[in-house]
Chains A and B, each alone.
Chain A
């Protein structure tokens, strides 16, 4: 596909799906929404505070999107990630992938979310119903360090 589109955004605003402008020429379009669950570690939460290293996160999101376009021959990648407080039930992540074939679109979507969780400096703090706010436990160190740093 000519002129692939890569769009990344960190925003405090509620996420909405971008209009498709009736462009279904790609062949396969996958939308993925990541939403804040009602429970965190078995406890009810009001929502999650997302903190980002904004400049670095935007750069890393763009790198992930660019690499995905190249790796999966995509026509478009849109990644929108919310920061600030996100209530339970609301979306924290929107991803749209366009490709010629569904296999590439699905595989690229999963790859992008995996890479995002590995490389993009965003952190979350659940706000529990009782008002207690604790940091989410860190992942095990080995799995958390990007391969480029090993």
Chain B
């Protein structure tokens, strides 16, 4: 399946683009997706421990199974307030 991935804040700068379309097998998890993203953008791998992942409007953990309709957000730690 094709998954739309959007990058935010500093991670958009590191990725060099606001979004990517990633090919992911059905049933693939966030961990699988991040592996594909790091293969395309190796500079993001060093940020792995701090990266937050959203599916739609909710945060999801690394074991979350990505759905074909999900819009995935790749985000650095939040800094509001």
Contacts and interface: CB of A to CB of B under 8 A. Distances in A.
Given A53-B54, A121-B73, A145-B52, A136 B79 contact: yes
A98 interface: no
Nearest to B60: A149
A113 B81 contact: yes
A148 B61 contact: yes
B59 A135 contact: no
A53 B75 contact: yes
Nearest to A61: B80
A27 interface: no
Given A141-B50, A145-B52, A119 B78 contact: yes
Given A53-B8, A56-B57, A138 B77 contact: yes
Q: Which of B53, B61, B78 has the most CB of A within 10 A?
A: B78
A36 to B, nearest CB: 11
A149 B62 CA distance: 8
Given A123-B76, A149-B61, A51 B50 contact: no
Contact of A51 (B8, B61, B73): B8
Contact of A148 (B49, B59, B77, B79): B59
Contact of A116 (B8, B13, B60, B80): B80
26 contacts: A53-B8, A55-B57, A56-B57, A56-B58, A56-B73, A93-B80, A116-B81, A117-B78, A118-B78, A119-B59, A121-B73, A121-B78, A122-B81, A123-B10, A123-B75, A123-B79, A135-B9, A135-B10, A136-B79, A139-B50, A139-B79, A141-B49, A144-B50, A144-B52, A145-B77, A146-B59
Interface of A: 34, 50-53, 55-57, 59-60, 81, 92-93, 113, 116-125, 135-136, 138-139, 141, 144-146, 148-150
